[in-house]
Structure formats: structure tokens, C-alpha cells
Structure 1
Amino acid sequence: MAMLVSSVEEGSLSAAARKMRVPVATLTRNVNDLETLVGTKLLVRTTRKLELTDAGTEYVASARHILEQVDEQERRAAGEFTAPRGELVVTTPVQVARLRVLPVITQFLSLYPEIRIKLVQSDRNVDLVDSRADVAIRIGRLRDSSLVATRVGTLRVVVAASPALLETHGVPKTPEELSDYPCVVFDSPYLAPWRFRNPATGDIFTVADVPRLLVSSPDAAAYAAIDGVGATLVLEHDVADAVNAGKLQFILQEFEVEPIPVNLVHLSQNIMPVKLRRFLDFATPKLRAALADFGRIPSV
């Protein structure tokens, strides 16, 4: 069942084999044996992808539920519901992990020697069920109502530019001017498109940017902005050090949208493992304190 579910989630038998660290032939044989056992075809294999049959769709849904029950019973047997022990899988955006989450995790591990943490860093929202994750730090509005969320803070969305760039190209007075301004764009699911708020009406509007440089990490956006490549729109903590050092300056602050919420989220559970309860109790106040550190820095 686990091999079948993994094949569906990964999109191919070979990808599932790599994830489960077994030979492709072994995984293929086990999936074939499962189809023989249930007496029907579950997967349709093509050269490009795997597709579930109608019977396979229903079977995989049931298999996921059964595997979750097996996992819970194994954790019960290991004592995870009576003592803080076992592996805890935490997912978080890359930059938030480096700046805010890792210090919390290192402190937590020093207090609970029987807990192991697997930190999954991704700027895309990782599905908690598919990834078998226990808890996630999510930036942005939550769409999944099945998750239990605890607000730990907010992050400002800011536009920053180097003093040299502002001296050469002038200081934009309105967001619309950014359309003809050198820009460094961080390709982010929670920052694209560039959004601003009309200070007079409160209406939200977007600006069509033509990036001089398109990057896939906030660090790269900050470095390029410091070097004068262009103005960039990022989260405040991505450029706070550079602003404090005078390498960057905030602009267009009066047009900023409301700060983006940051939440700790986990799946609803009848009985919560002790390791998760301990982590939530420890991390929540620490992250709230860390995210409250930022103060408003004057614009130019």
C-alpha cells in the first residue's frame, strides 16, 4: 500500500522507488502483486505518467487512511503519546527557517534529547498529509480549513532600493512608477504579483513589473538590490540588516499592504503526540517574540 500511494504521489514508479530507497524492480513487483491480490487494475502506466483507474482512486483513498492508522498505532507503541520522543517533521519557508525557526529548533532539541527533527525547507506550501509532516510554518492567508492554525506574528511586505540606485534613477513617488523602473523580482507564491494599497481609499492594486532580474530566493533579491541592479519587493526580515547598515532604503512605505500573517499549522488530531504538543508550546512564544522584533525604519 505504501509503495502504491508513494507512486501516485511522486508521479512515477521510479520516483517512488528513489523516495523509498528500494530498487525499481522491487517496487514494481510489489505493486503488481497488490493488483493481483485485489483482483483488479489500480494503475494505468504510460510513458509520461501514472493514472489511477476508478478502482485505484477509491483504493488509494482507503490505503492512505489505513496507513495513517498504522502510523498512529506504531507511534503509540513507541510511546509518542505518553512521552516526548520520536521524529518530528517541520516544514517552513527557506528564509524563515534560517532567520527564525532554526534558533528555536536548536533550543528545543537541547531540552528534549529523545526527539529528532526533520526540517523541510521550501517556499512552496508542502502538503502535510502527503509529506507526513507534523507541523508547518505558513506565510500568507490560510485556505485549508482542515488545518489547526496558531498565529505567531506578521511580516511586512516592503520595497527596498540602494542609495546609489535612488540617486541615479530617482525615488519613485508611486508604485505605478515601478513599471518603468529597474526591478529585481523574487519569484514567490506569497509576493507575486506586486501588490500595493491606495492610502486614500484602502483599495488594493497590482503593478505589472518587468524584471531586470528575476531570482528564486530572497537572499539573491537582497544582494542584487544592494548592488544597485534594481528595487525589490520582499519581506521585511529579508532586508532588515541591509537597511540598518545603510546599504538599502525602504521606499513607498505609505503604499504597503497589510502585513502578511505567519501561522503555525498542524492537522486536527483526536490525540496529539506529546512531541508535537511540546514543540507547539515551546515554539509559539519564541516565534512570536522573534517576529515582534522588527520596528518601522524611516523611508526616504
Structure 2
Amino acid sequence: MDRLHLMTVFVAVGEEESFAGGARRLGMSPPAVTRAIAALEERLGVRLLERTTRHVRVTEAGQRYLDDARRIIAEADEADEAAAGSNAAPRGHLSVTAPVLFGRHYVTPGIVDYLRRYPGMEVNAMFVDRVTNMMEEGIDVGVRIGELPDSSMRAVPVGHVRRVICAAPSYLAAYGAPQTPEQLAQHTIVQSAGSSTPPDWRFASAGRVQSLRFQPRLVVNSNDAAIEAVRQGFGVTRLLSYQAAPLLASGELQLVLEDYATPGIPVNIVHRDSRQGSVRIRSFVDLMAGRLRAEPILRSKK
């Protein structure tokens, strides 16, 4: 069998963790998928998958091969696209990631626009409030909020967001609004414990940045839950400006301590760097960058 075909089958089974799921993705019969995996393992002389009655898991060797196979398939696709010409309409599959609320409100409309423009494309969107390893998880494009570490990824700046502190009008009417950061210690704190949320709250004043840590009465593992708690009048929380924007606009939340706001946090679209430049990735990044740069919520650094 063709080696690239065998790799494609293995990637589908490994990502789906199922022979049947891989077969459905590729439009193949389950027996054909089973034969392809057996042929690949025989050719390599190593077991790539561990099979049980309920699950399929990649082995340690299989995980290394899965990462390499994804890269090789992507480079082959890019070579085809480059040969077909930069004006060819994108076709195929694209994987995209972003934080949950940002993905829901700002990335999903862009994905819908993209799919309407390019009928030959399919998109898998994974919205999670954690930093994904795009190479290991086979993701083509991601939206990152925060400073970027050095990596092989290419970054396209699209704007800034900022951290804001807010509470419901009913809470502020009952307990008063804090006038200084230190006064937050006397208030009910609701804090999200997401992996991208630092525990220290930072404030800017007189040209310097001050970090404070408060004892929260409620800790939740999602920004949605923190927003809902304070919307109901239970305490003060810290959010990113885009997360709070709808409720600030409706008057359900109010900002506090605005004079102590820290500088904006960069927002970037990141994607794999490649020599050929994938038409699929390039067309999506161009569309999404244009949409995000036009969003008012991303324009201010202050």
C-alpha cells in the first residue's frame, strides 16, 4: 500500500482512538482500515496501537510516529497546494483553537464566514481555556491571548485586551465600590482558576505595577462560572475585557478600580511556519486577522 495512505489511515485511527471512527472519517470500511494498520505495523516492525475491547490507544512509539506522520501529511498537502498555485481555492481540513468565550463570540463567526466562502473546506474548532500544544495535538491555527514564548510558530498580531475588575450593581450598592486595590481584601472575591489565569491581581499606579493576592470565597474552574456568580450579585471578579463586554454593555456588571488598570495584553493568531505556506492556513489567517482587527474590543492597549 502507498506509504502516505497508510500514514493517513493511522492518523485518523490515532486521533479518533477508534478503528470505526477512523473508517468513518476517511469513508473507508472498518476491515480496510484494520488491514492498513496491520500493513503499516508490519512494515515498521513496531506496534503503533494498543487494542482493547473498548479502546484504541497509541503506544509510545506510536505517539512519536503520529506526530511525524501529521507533519509529513501537512507538508505533502502544502506541496500540492504550492504546485497547484497560490490562487487555487483551499480544500481539505483545518484545525483551530481559541479560549472558550473568545472562540464563541469572535472566532466562530469567522469560521462560518470562511466555510461559506470555501465550500471545499472543513474546520474542527477546539475552544478550551488552556494553552494547547499545537504540534502535539495536530492544530493548524490558534488564537493566543498573552505574551508568546519563543517557538517555531508564526504569530500575526491582531490587537489587545485588558484585565478588568467588575461586580454587579446590586453588590456595589450593598457593599460599596473599592477605591484602592488594597480595599479588595474586605470584599467577596470570586476567582477563576483557569490555567491561563495568574493568581496575583496586578494594578498600575504612579508608573509602577503592584501585585496583590486575595483570599477568594469562591474559586471556579471556568470564566463562565465566575461571570454568572458575580452577575447574581455575589462578589467581585477579574476578567478579560472581551469576557465582560456584553454584561458591561447591558449594565449587568460595572467596572471598578479603572484608574489602576494595567497595560493591554496582546492577542495573536499563531500558526505553523512552513516553507510552502499552506493555502488553507494562509486564507484562514488572513480572513480571521481582518475580522479581529476590526473588533473595537481589541483595539485599545490601555
TM-score bin, normalised by smaller chain: 0.7 to 0.9
Whether 2:287 is the aligned partner of 1:282: answer yes
SS class of match (2:220) = strand
SS class of match (1:222) = helix
The correspondence for 2:172, drawn from 166, 170, 175, is: 166
State the percentage of identical aligned residues: 30
Q: 1:84 to 1:40 in 2, by over 3 A?
A: closer
RMSD: 3.8
Look up the match of 1:227.
232
Shift of 1:233: 0.7
TM-score, normalised with respect to structure 1: 0.76
Q: Deviations over 1:242-300 (max 9, x none)?
A: 22332211112222222211111111111122233222332222211114577899xxx
Q: 1:154 to 1:65 in 2, by over 3 A?
A: closer
1:173-212 to structure 2, matched below 5 A, reads 173-212=179-218
- Hey, what's the Cα distance between the residues in 1 that align with 2:124 and 2:63? 30
SS class of match (1:96) = helix
The correspondence for 2:259, drawn from 235, 240, 254, is: 254
TM-score, normalised with respect to structure 2: 0.75
Letter in 1 for 2:187: Y
Letter in 1 for 2:107: V
Letter in 1 for 2:260: F
Kept in 1, the 8 Å contact 2:130–2:196? The answer is no
- Hey, what's the Cα distance between the residues in 1 that align with 2:118 and 2:70? 30
- Hey, what's the Cα distance between the residues in 1 that align with 2:66 and 2:246? 48
Letter in 2 for 1:118: N
- Hey, what's the Cα distance between the residues in 2 that align with 1:122 and 1:19? 23
The correspondence for 2:60, drawn from 24, 49, 52, is: 52
Q: Deviations over 1:41-100 (max 9, x none)?
A: 77899xxx97636xx7876665555444444456668x5855122133322222112222
Structure 2 unaligned spans of 5+: 1-6, 52-56
Q: 1:174 to 1:30 in 2, by over 3 A?
A: farther
- Hey, what's the Cα distance between the residues in 2 that align with 1:94 and 1:58? 29
Look up the match of 1:20.
22
Query: Which segment is superposed worse, 284-293 or 26-35?
Result: 26-35
Shift of 1:199: 0.7
- Hey, what's the Cα distance between the residues in 2 that align with 1:39 and 1:295? 56
- Hey, what's the Cα distance between the residues in 2 that align with 1:104 and 1:61? 28
Kept in 1, the 8 Å contact 2:160–2:301? The answer is no
Shift of 1:196: 0.9
Shift of 1:235: 1.1
1:86-235 to structure 2, matched below 5 A, reads 86-87=91-92, 88-218=94-224, 220-235=225-240
- Hey, what's the Cα distance between the residues in 1 that align with 2:126 and 2:289? 18
Kept in 1, the 8 Å contact 2:48–2:58? The answer is no
Q: 1:185 to 1:17 in 2, by over 3 A?
A: farther
Letter in 1 for 2:243: D
Shift of 1:168: 2.2
Kept in 2, the 8 Å contact 1:182–1:211? The answer is yes
Query: Which segment is superposed worse, 251-260 or 285-294?
Result: 285-294
Q: Deviations over 1:169-228 (max 9, x none)?
A: 23223334334421222232332214212413513414133232524133x322221211
- Hey, what's the Cα distance between the residues in 2 that align with 1:138 and 1:126? 10
Kept in 2, the 8 Å contact 1:44–1:52? The answer is no
Kept in 1, the 8 Å contact 2:158–2:298? The answer is no
